[in-house]
């Protein structure tokens, strides 16, 4: 499947006499385009659509993005992982993630970014191996963003839940292991929150990560005895639940515990 996409893009590009440098402009790096054409990378839906738009072609006439079967498989995998986490079966969850890394589906950007993000979270949260978790998080972000230093990521638009979770993981890791990067985790949390407040993302993305970011900011400011700032983010999280009728008792209790 990935070879077919790359071959098709290369044929269209050459037929229209467009260079790789021109095709990738404002989309991705030249190296990324080269990997796609050589069958070594499957781009995200957004990148794929942008490439076909640059080529002046309708993508649906050539390729249906992820097939329905692949989407069903991906969602089933995510459900299984959520079930393991809900039952606190961490070892089973990590083994399952390791198995997924061998599946062809996880060459695609979104599934691969999800896989790396989950691995990073579990390794940081339960194995306390912050260096490995940090490297996995950076790798996850680099799938859809081209940067030479993590500081640069704050200049990018964040389009997907997986990008936001990767940045959230990095913030969490840097709180536990600040020696890995001088970047302030609070700077990252605040960046995520400010971005979510712009309401340009899908509501499901905001619902999942907004209150958790408030919780971590409140926890940080309480640890620094900055109780006024902590109270502000506690109220932000509680107000979010009140406004959206989406009450999670566990998270609410955690917020109230910090008061």
DSSP, collapsed to helix, strand or coil, labels residue 57 as coil
pLDDT higher than 80, residue 122: yes
**pLDDT-based confidence at 128, cuts 50/70/90?**
very high
Q: Residue holding tokens 């991705």?
A: 28
Closest Cα to residue 220, out of 247, 201, 197, 193? 193
Is pLDDT at 2 greater than 50 in this prediction?
no
Cα gap 244→196, rounded to integer Å: 15
What is the Cα–Cα distance from 148 to 162, expressed in whole angstroms?
20
In 10 A of CB 132, how many CB atoms? 14
Number of Cβ within a 10 Å radius of residue 235: 15
Task: Tell me: pLDDT of 48 over 80.
Answer: yes
Query: Quick one: pLDDT band at residue 121, thresholds 50, 70, 90?
Result: very high
Asked whether residue 61 carries a pLDDT value surpassing 50, the answer given is: yes
Residue 119 has pLDDT above 90, yes or no: yes
Better-predicted residue by pLDDT, 178 or 110: 178
The pLDDT of 130-138, averaged and rounded, is 96
DSSP 175-220: HH-GGG-SS-HHHHHHHHHHHHHT--S-HHHHHHHHHHHHHHHHHH
């Amino acid at each position: 499947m990935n070879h077919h996409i790359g071959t098709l893009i290369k044929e269209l590009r050459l037929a229209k006499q467009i260079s790789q440098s021109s095709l990738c402009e404002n989309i991705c790096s030249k190296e990324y385009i080269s990997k796609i054409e050589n069958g070594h990378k499957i781009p995200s839906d957004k990148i794929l659509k942008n490439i076909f738009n640059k080529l002046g072609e309708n993508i649906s006439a050539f390729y249906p993005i992820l097939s329905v079967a692949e989407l069903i498989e991906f969602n089933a995998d995510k459900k299984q992982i959520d079930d393991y986490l809900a039952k606190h079966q961490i070892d089973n969850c990590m083994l399952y993630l390791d198995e997924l890394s061998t599946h062809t589906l996880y060459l695609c950007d979104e599934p691969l970014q999800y896989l790396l993000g989950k691995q990073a979270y579990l390794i940081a949260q339960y194995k306390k191996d912050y260096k490995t978790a940090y490297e996995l998080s950076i790798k996850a972000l680099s799938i859809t963003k081209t940067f030479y230093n993590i500081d640069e990521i704050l200049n990018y638009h964040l389009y997907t839940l997986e990008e936001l979770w990767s940045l959230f993981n990095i913030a969490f890791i840097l709180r536990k292991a600040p020696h890995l990067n001088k970047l302030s985790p609070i700077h990252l949390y605040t960046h995520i929150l400010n971005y979510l407040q712009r309401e340009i993302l899908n509501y499901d993305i905001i619902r999942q990560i907004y209150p958790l970011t408030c919780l971590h900011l409140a926890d940080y400011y309480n640890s620094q005895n900055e109780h006024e700032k902590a109270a502000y983010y506690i109220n932000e999280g509680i107000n979010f639940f009140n406004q959206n009728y989406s009450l999670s008792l566990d998270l609410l209790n955690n917020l109230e515990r910090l008061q």
